[in-house]
Amino acid sequence: MPSGKASNDDYPPKLTASESEQLLSTVKDWSIANGLAVRPPVSLVKATADPHGILATTAPVTLFPSPFPRVCFEQAKSIQKSYNKLYAAIAQDQEFLGNIIQEILEVDEFIAQLWQVHLKVKDEGYVQNLSLGLFRSDYMVHQNTSDAAPTIKQVEFNTIASSFGGLSSQTSRLHKHLSVLDYSLLESSLQAKDLDLPENESTKSLAAGLGVAFDTYRSTSEPIHECCIIFLVQDPERNIFDQRHLEYALQQNNSPIPVFRLPFGEILSRTSIAETPKRQLLYHLPSNPLEVFEVAIVYFRAGYGPTDYPDDSAWKARLQIERSNAIKCPTILTQLAGAKKVQQVLATPTSPETPSILKRFIKDSPKEIEELEKTFTNIYPLDDSPSGLSARKLATDHSDCKGYVLKPQREGGGNNTYRTAIPPFLKSLPETHWKSYILMEIITPPPVHNIILRNGVLEQGGVICELGVYGTCLWDQGTGEVFHNEEAGYLLRTKGDKSEEGGVAAGFGSMDSCRLV
């Protein structure tokens, strides 16, 4: 375990066995009482012990908020609206996206299928120009030398199914709750006034983004039925409470918004398209199929990876949604804008002669471009461009590869290859497939310590923190007009420093909140 820097040496405080017990008993009850929860993994509760799946357990969470540099936190929050604007502009630029997709089409079947669905709808003509993004930009802290000022470097930008906004505001509340009494009673007496714990309204802010899009649909689309929002989900879903928090926030509106959960596999049986030029998406209640709602928004918490598309009917279902009048969160173009290949094209180091590609998307605001570029770390293609060829050398060299992570065009965790595993992995692929991967420099944040509660067990040690900042954006794909653009709270995910992957749902990371230092 690496030793912390001076300010972190005594944080979090060493706990006696009875202090651990005390904190654990507060956390286990508060988390269930407030929905900081997940369905237990089958490794913990066998299906036979819980045949109706009614049990819930505390989401993996840290006992203390992790120290996080205030300058980095402010930097990440202040840049979110520029990121929203950037990705809304990329989603509108079919020429730019088309060129990138073209390069990976032949070796990435999933991306090719998504693009096909877009082309089909384009041929027929899109009926809905409004587009909604609930985004999350992920970062790690980077520090050149121990006395250099820390900055943030972007890990990835999520444009589909950006999760944990519902649990993350609860985690901030949990740590605030612990700071009121529990921390102060420890032998090392940690006082609330010494802990700078920022507000985190991620649930409210994400729901507000959905709310604005819902109101805009109703005022612009002349609905023919009562309107609703569909949460398109995986089934079963262990991270269900994260999604429920958003749903419940929408129902706390002055006029509650009807929300229905629709498993991806049931799109074709539970929705239809009205036979009108507008192609409204209709949702039929399973309990009474004659009861019909008009779908104002389809919010995707599924459909981001190939496993949700086991056969042709799943692609028919995606097409049904894409060609409908419902506002998609996201559209296929917005989903593709979040491809890692796009991030690489934005971040590939430019020479003094070649102007930044960001100028194409952010007009007349060099300051914003400069701030965005500060968050980029080096990412290389593995194609046969000059930069790709030199990256191939790095990736296949047994020593150079140690500074890199190799990523395919996938979302959801568990898809990357790290460091010395890269050369043998690449060798196992035909070289023609290499261009669908990107090579990214590993970001190594300064060491931090914490205690993680996972599946009822406490794990203490060195941890790595990843900050995500949410953003909501509603724009017109036709005119480019942006109707709503907001920063929407944050997520801190923390993993043991021996683990490469950090996804909470994928089972590697835990929920955390920031103690600003």
Q: Which residues bind ligand ADP (CB under 6 A)?
A: 138, 140, 155-156, 405, 407, 411-413, 415-416, 440-443, 466, 500-503
From the candidates 411, 459, 462, 507, which is the catalytic residue? 411
374 tagged catalytic = no
Nearer residue to ligand ADP within complex by CB, 58 or 154: 154
Q: Which of 66, 131, 137, 158 is catalytic?
A: 158
Q: Residue 222 to residues 128, 218, 228, 280, 498: CA-CA distances in angstroms? A: 12, 6, 14, 10, 54
Find the helix packing angle between 94-105 and 109-124, rounded to 10°: 140
Residue (of 17, 161, 176, 141) closest to 71 by Cα position = 141
Q: Are 83 and 473 in contact (CB under 8 A)?
A: no
Given 3-state DSSP classes, what are the helix, strand and coil percentages for the chain, each rounded to the nearest 5? 40, 25, 35
Asked if 305 is an active-site residue, the reply is: no
70 carries an active-site annotation: no
Nearer to Mg ion, 130 or 439 (CB): 439
- Binding site annotation covers 84? no
* Closest of 190, 169, 188 to residue 179, by C-alpha: 190
Catalytic residue among 388, 412, 462, 503: 412
Confirm whether residue 161 is marked as ligand binding. Answer: yes
- Residue 143 binds which entry of ligand ADP, Mg ion, none, CB below 5-8 Å type-dependent: none
Q: CA–CA separation, 84 vs 94, rounded Å?
A: 17
Q: Which of 77, 328, 407, 435 is catalytic?
A: 407
418 is in an annotated binding site: yes
Helix (H, G, I), strand (E, B) or coil at 436: helix
Q: Which is nearer to ligand ADP, 59 or 178 (CB)?
A: 59
Residues in contact with Mg ion by the rule CB under 5 A: 156
The answer to whether the CB of 472 falls within 8 A of the CB of 88 is no
429 binds, among ligand ADP, Mg ion, none (CB under 5 to 8 A by kind): none
Closest to ligand ADP by CB, 325 vs 344, is 344
Which one, 320 or 436, has the nearer CB to ligand ADP? 436
Residue 114 contact partner, candidates ligand ADP, Mg ion, none, CB within 5 to 8 A by sort of partner: none
Residue 4 in marked binding region: no
Binding partner of residue 468 among Mg ion, ligand ADP, none, CB cut-off 5 to 8 Å per kind: none
Task: Tell me whether residue 322 is one of the annotated catalytic residues.
Answer: no
Cβ at position 404, least distance to ligand ADP in Å: 8
Residue 487 interacting entry, from Mg ion, ligand ADP, none, C-beta within 5 to 8 Å by type: none
CB of 245 to ligand ADP, least distance (A): 21
CB atoms within 10 A of CB 49: 10
Helices (H) and strands (E) in the chain — how many of each? 15, 21
Looking at 355-479, list the stretches that DSSP marks H as alpha helix, in order from N- to C-terminal side. Answer: 366-374, 386-396, 422-427
| Residue 410 marked in a binding site | yes
Is 323 annotated in a binding site? The answer is no
471 annotated active-site: no
C-alpha to C-alpha distances, 514 to 65, 278, 376, nearest whole angstrom: 5, 46, 22
The CA distance from 195 to 68, in Å, is 11
Closest residue to Mg ion: CB criterion: 156
Closer residue to ligand ADP, CB minimum distance, 266 or 411: 411
Decide if 411 is catalytic. yes
443 binds, among Mg ion, ligand ADP, none (CB under 5 to 8 A by kind): ligand ADP
CA angle, corner 436, sides to 432 and 437, nearest 5?
110
Residue closer to ligand ADP, measured from CB, 304 or 475? 304
Residue 412 interacts with, from ligand ADP, Mg ion, none (CB under 5-8 Å by kind): ligand ADP
> Choosing from 31, 84, 131, 163, which is the catalytic residue?
163
What does the CA dihedral 333, 75, 510, 85 come to, rounded to 10 degrees? -10
Which of Mg ion, ligand ADP, none does residue 415 bind (CB under 5 to 8 Å by kind)?
ligand ADP
Distance CA 51, CA 1 (A): 41
Residue 156 or residue 373: which is nearer to Mg ion going by CB? Answer: 156
> Alpha helix (H) ranges present in 407-495?
422-427
Q: How far apart are CA 53 and CA 47, in angstroms?
A: 8
The least CB distance from residue 348 to ligand ADP, in Å, is: 14
User: Which one from 8, 19, 81, 156 is the annotated catalytic residue?
Assistant: 156
169 within 8 A of 204, measured Cβ to Cβ? yes
Nearest residue to ligand ADP, by Cβ distance, number only: 502
Assess whether 373 carries a catalytic annotation: no
Q: Is 294 one of the catalytic residues?
A: no
Q: CA–CA separation, 482 vs 30, rounded Å?
A: 40
Has 99 been labeled as part of a binding site?
A: no
- 14 annotated active-site: no
Q: Which of 493, 496, 502, 509 is catalytic?
A: 493
How far is 53 from 42, CA to CA, in rounded Å?
Answer: 10
- Residues 136, 279, 323, 454: which is the catalytic one? 136
Distance of alpha carbon 434 from alpha carbon 429, whole angstroms: 7
What are 1's two structure tokens?
């375990």
Instruction: Report how far apart the first and last C-alpha atoms of the chain are (Å, whole number).
Output: 22
Question: For tokens 């952010």, what's the residue?
Answer: 362
CB 377 to ligand ADP: min, Å: 6
The amino acid at residue 352 is P
- 237 known member of a binding site: yes
CA angle 234, 237, 243 (to 5 degrees): 90
Binding site listing for substrate? 136, 160-163, 237-239, 243, 301-304, 493, 504-505
Binding site listing for ATP? 156, 340, 407-416, 418, 440-443, 466, 495, 501
Binding site listing? 136, 156, 158, 160-163, 237-239, 243, 301-304, 340, 407-416, 418, 440-443, 466, 493, 495, 501, 504-505
Catalytic residues: 136, 156, 158, 163, 340, 407, 411-412, 493
